[in-house]
Amino acid sequence: MSNTFLGMPTLPVFGQGNINATESFPQAARRELANTQLRANLGHATHTIRDKRLKVVAELPDWEDMRNAGSAIKDATMANLPALLEQFEANFTARGGIIHWARDAQEANEIVTALIRETGETEVVKVKSMATQEIGLNEYLEEQGIAAYETDLAELIVQLDHDKPSHILVPAIHKNRSQVREIFLREMPVVDPNLTDEPARLAEAARKHLRKKFLSAKVAVSGANFGLADTGTLTVVESEGNGRMCLTLPETLITVMGIEKLLPTWSDLEVFMQLLPRSSTGERMNPYTSLWTGVTPGDGPQNVHLVMLDNGRTAALADEYGRTALNCIRCSACMNVCPVYERTGGHAYGSTYPGPIGAILSPLMTGIKSEENSSLPYASSLCGACFDACPVKINIPEILVHLRGEDVDSKRAKLKVPTQMDLMMKGAQWAFSSGSHLNLLEKGLPLGKLVAGRDKVIKKLPGIAGGWTQSRNIPAPPSQSFRQWWDKEHKPGAAVVPGTTINEGEQA
Amino acid sequence: MSAREDIMNRIKSALRDAPETPVVPRAYRRSSTMSDAQRLEQLVDRLVDYKANVFLTPAADVPAKLAELLAGTSSIVVPHGLPQEWLSALKDDAGAPAVHVDSPERRLTVAELDAVDAVVTGAATAVSETGTIMLDGSDDQGRRIISLVPDRHICLLHAADIVEVLPEAIARLEASRPQTWISGPSATSDIELERVEGVHGPRTLDVMILT
Ligand code: SF4
C-alpha cells in the first residue's frame, strides 16, 4: 500500500449540511448576547466544568507527555489516512461488519435511510453523535417518515424543546434546571405532574420516558469516538447508559463516523481514553465506554453497519496549515475556556461545531468562500486559551489567523477592483515607508479632533473601518503626534522643560 | 467511480505534499509504581467517589457476603461461567432469590432481563487510577446485555486483576472482544453540569473485591 498520489490533483470538495451557518457570526452573536438567561446559564456551566477539568488534569504527572503523544498520534493518522482506512475496513469487515462510504451529507443520509428501510422499521433510537447532527440525519429521516429518538439526556431536552444543541458535549448547557422541568412537563406524554427541578428527579423522568423505547428498539444509530485501524474496533464514550442500550439491545446498529476518527493502533486508545474524559467532562473516566469489533455472535446487534463520512473532511485535509483541525477529538475543552463562546453561546456559530474548534473546522470543511462561515475565523480574540486547553494541541489561534488571510484573499480575488482593505493597506505601506510621508499625514490629526466634536469620541468610522466602531467608540486623537511634539521640543534653542507632558493642551 | 474510490482519491490528493509521519513520543506512564495495597486503596477511593458500593471480601467469604447483599431480592441473572461456588450460599434457603443463568444455549430475553432485580458478574480487569472496571464478555461476565438491563449490578473483581494505569489494562485486554468499561453507576452531568448518578444503566453498582 502506498500513499503516494500519482493521479491528477483534484480540487477540494467541500461539505454540506449543518456545518454552514445561515447568518454571519456578528449578526447571530448580537441576538444571542441579548439573551441574559442564556449568558447566566453558560457562565455558570463553563466555569464549573473548567474548574473540574483543571483539577483532574493537575492530578496526572504526565499530562503534557500524554498531550504530546496524542498530538503525534493524530498527525501520524492523517499522514497515513488511506492505508489506515484500508486496514480498518479489512478488520471490521473480517468480523462481519459492513462498511459504506459517503462523499457528503446527502449520500450519508440516503445510505442510513436505505439501511433502516431494509429492516422494515420506522423508528430508531439514537446515541448522541456529532456526525449525524452535522449531516442533519434526524430531519432527513423525518422527511422520509422515520422517527429518530435522541436518547442522551441533553439531546432529549433539546429535541423535546425543538431547539438546537449549543455545546458539543452538553448540548442543553444553555438551559437551566427549571427550564428543563418546564420542557418535560410540556412535552413528555407521561410525566409526574409533581416533577421537581432537582437534576436527579429530571434524570429519573428521562429514564422512565425512554425505557420502553430502548427495550423494544430494533434499530439504533450511533456515532463513534474512535476507530482503531489495527483491530477494526469502534468506541463510544458516554455517561448515562443510553449508549450501551443503543449499542447492545437492537438487532441492527448503524454507525456514522468521520474518516478522521481513526487511531492507528489498539494501544493508542490508552492515550486518548485518558485525554478525552479529563478534558471533556472533567472526570477521571466517563461512566461507560463501549467497544465493539464487527459482529459478536450472540452478543449485541447482529446486523452491524458503518458509514464512513467525508463531507468536507478531505477539503480540510488538503489545507496544509489547517489540517490539524481534523485531529480534534470533540472534547469541548476549547469551548469551555473561550471568552467569546462563554458570552455568545453555541448557537451564534451557526454550525454543528461551535466555539474555537468550530470557528476553524466549519470554514475548513465548507470552504472559506461559504458566505456566512467566512466570518467565523474572526469570532476570536486570539487569546490562546483554547490552544492551552486542547488535549491534542491543535494550534487554533494560528489556524484562525491563517483562515482570516484566506478570507481576505478570497474576497480580493472575487472583485476585479481593489477592496477598501487593499487601498488601506496600500496607503499604510506608503505612509510607513518614509518619515516625511508620515509627517504629512500627521498634519491631519486636528481634523480627527474636529470629527470627534465636544465629547471627544468618534462613534462611527466610515467604510470597513466602521467594523471597529460597531461595538466601541474611539477617543479623539491628540492635536499633535509624538513626532511633532518631539520636533517642537528639540528645535535648536527650545528649552526642554522637565515634567512637560505630551498633550498639555488636552488636559485643559 | 465508487464513493470509496472517490474519497480515497480525494485523500491522496489532499496529502500530495506528503506530510511526514512523526515518531510518537510515549513518555507517559505505562506501568505501575504502586504496591498492591496502594492500588487497592486507590481503586476503592475512586469507586466510592463515583458512588459505587465497595466491599473488600476474602475469597472464602464471598458466598456468605453475596447472600447477605442479595437478601430480600427476588431474582437475579448470572452468566453461565460465573463460579458456581460464589452462589453456593444462595441455595437450599427458602428466602434465596431465583437464579436465572444466561448461557449460549438459553439466552434470556430482554423482557426476562427487565424483570430481574440484579445481575452478578465477574470482571476482566480494573484500573485504580481512574476507578474503571472492564468487562470483556468472558464466560464469567456474559453478554453485554445482562449487565445492562437489570437495575443493580454486583461485580466481583479479584484484587490481583487491579492495575494502576490505563496502558496496563489495554495490554491485558483483547481488542476484538466486546467490551464495557464501567466507572461507577450510570450518571449524567447534562443539567447544569451537576453529576447525578442513575440514569439508564444500572443505578446501583456494588463492587466486591476479592482479597
Ligand atoms: S479542538 Fe481540542 S480542545 Fe477543542 S474540542 Fe477539539 S480536541 Fe477538544
Q: For A458-485, what is each residue's pLDDT tens digit?
A: 777 777 777 667 767 778 888 888 888 8
C-alpha cell at A32: 444571542
Q: Is A20 left (phi over 0), alpha (psi -120 to 50) or beta?
A: beta
Q: Which chain B residues are Cβ-neighbours of A177 within 8 angstroms?
A: 191-192
C-alpha cell at A102: 459517503
How close is the Cα of A480 to the center of ligand 1, in Å?
A: 48
Residue B111 has pLDDT above 70, yes or no: yes
Phi and psi dihedrals of A257, rounded to 5?
A: -135, 135
Suggest the residue from B24, B30, B80, B147 to mutate for an interface test with chain A (most A CBs closer than 10 A).
B24
| Angle of helix A199-216 versus helix A177-187 axis, rounded to 10 | 40
- Outline where B15-128 has alpha helix (H): 36-49, 62-69, 110-115
Q: Is A248 exposed, middle or buried (0-12, 13-18, 19+ CB in 10 A)?
A: buried
Q: Can you tell me the mean pLDDT for B63-76?
A: 94
pLDDT in tens, A85-141: 999 999 999 999 999 999 999 999 999 999 999 999 999 999 989 999 999 999 999
Of B29, B46, B148, the CB nearest to A241: B148
SS3 A162: coil
Q: Domain span at residue B70? A: 31-210
Number of domains in chain B: 1
What is the number of CB-based contacts under 8 A between chain A and chain B? Answer: 273
Beta-carbon separation of B7 and A103 below 8 A: yes
pLDDT-based confidence at residue B35 (cuts at 50, 70, 90): very high
Q: Judge contact between A200 and B196, C-beta under 8 A.
A: yes
Ligand 1 pocket, residue A390 CB under 6 Å:
yes
In DSSP notation, A21-59 reads -SS-HHHHHHHHHT-HHHHHHHHHHHHHHHHHHHHHHHT
Testing ligand 1's pocket by substitution, the residue of A168, A272, A328 carrying the most ligand atoms inside 8 A of its CB is: A328
Is B14 contained in some domain? no
Task: Kindly list the distances between the CA atom of residue A479 and the CA atoms of A444, A495, A506, in Å, as whole numbers in the listed order.
Answer: 9, 21, 8
Q: Which of A303, A272, A299 is nearest to A286 (CA)?
A: A272
Testing ligand 1's pocket by substitution, the residue of A130, A329, A337 carrying the most ligand atoms inside 8 A of its CB is: A329
Residue A381 has pLDDT above 50, yes or no: yes
CB of B200 within 8 Å of a chain A CB? The answer is yes
Strand partners, B154: B120, B206
Q: Can you tell me the mean pLDDT for A490-501?
A: 62
Q: Judge contact between A134 and A44, C-beta under 8 A.
A: no
Q: Give the pLDDT of residue A417.
A: 65
pLDDT in tens, A384-403: 999 999 999 999 999 999 99
Strand partners, B126: B133, B162
Is B79 contained in some domain? yes
Which CATH number fits the domain that encloses residue B86?
3.40.50.10420
Q: Can you tell me the mean pLDDT for B156-176?
A: 97
pLDDT in tens, A329-352: 999 999 999 999 988 888 888 888
**pTM (two decimals):** 0.88
How close is the Cα of B162 to the center of ligand 1, in Å?
A: 31
Ligand 1 pocket, residue A135 CB under 6 Å:
no
Q: Which chain A residues are Cβ-neighbours of B114 within 8 angstroms?
A: 215
How close is the Cα of A333 to the center of ligand 1, in Å?
A: 6
How close is the Cα of A158 to the center of ligand 1, in Å?
A: 23
Q: Which chain A residues are Cβ-neighbours of B138 within 8 angstroms?
A: none
Is B18 contained in some domain? no
C-alpha cell at B180: 464495557
Protein residue with its CA nearest to atom 8 in ligand 1 = A331
Beta-carbon separation of B145 and A299 below 8 A: yes
Is B5 contained in some domain? no
Q: Give the pLDDT of residue A416.
A: 64
pLDDT-based confidence at residue A501 (cuts at 50, 70, 90): low
C-alpha cell at A346: 453555541
Q: Which helix (H) or strand (E) holds A63?
A: helix A63-79
Which CATH number is A25-315 given? Answer: 3.40.50.10420
pLDDT-based confidence at residue A506 (cuts at 50, 70, 90): very low
Q: Give the pLDDT of residue A505.
A: 43
Residue A412 has pLDDT above 90, yes or no: no
Protein residue with its CA nearest to atom 3 in ligand 1 = A390
How close is the Cα of A72 to the center of ligand 1, in Å?
A: 15
CB of B26 within 8 Å of a chain A CB? The answer is yes
Q: Is B72 left (phi over 0), alpha (psi -120 to 50) or beta?
A: left
Residue of A nearest to B196 (CA): A200
Is B13 contained in some domain? no
Ligand 1 pocket, residue A392 CB under 6 Å:
yes
Is B4 contained in some domain? no
Q: Give the pLDDT of residue A227.
A: 98
pLDDT-based confidence at residue A1 (cuts at 50, 70, 90): very low
- What are the residue boundaries of the structural domains of chain A, listed by start? 25-315, 440-489
Beta-carbon separation of B186 and A79 below 8 A: no
Beta-carbon separation of B20 and A82 below 8 A: no
Is B24 contained in some domain? no
pLDDT in tens, A7-45: 666 788 998 888 888 788 888 888 888 888 888 888 888
Q: Which of A286-290, A438-442, B189-193 has the highest mean pLDDT?
A: A286-290
Q: Can you tell me the mean pLDDT for A270-299?
A: 96
In DSSP notation, A428-490 reads HHHHHH-HHHHHHHHTTHHHHHHHHTTTTEE---SGGGHHHHTS--EEPPPSS-HHHHHHHHT
Is B11 contained in some domain? no
Q: Which helix (H) or strand (E) holds A389?
A: helix A385-389
Residue with cell 503626534: A481
Beta-carbon separation of B14 and A76 below 8 A: no
Q: Which of B66, B182, B203, B85 is nearest to B131 (CA)?
A: B182
Residue of A nearest to B106 (CA): A298
User: Which amino acid is present at A368?
Assistant: I
Beta-carbon separation of A172 and B190 below 8 A: yes
Q: Can you tell me the mean pLDDT for A405-412?
A: 85
ipTM of the complex: 0.96
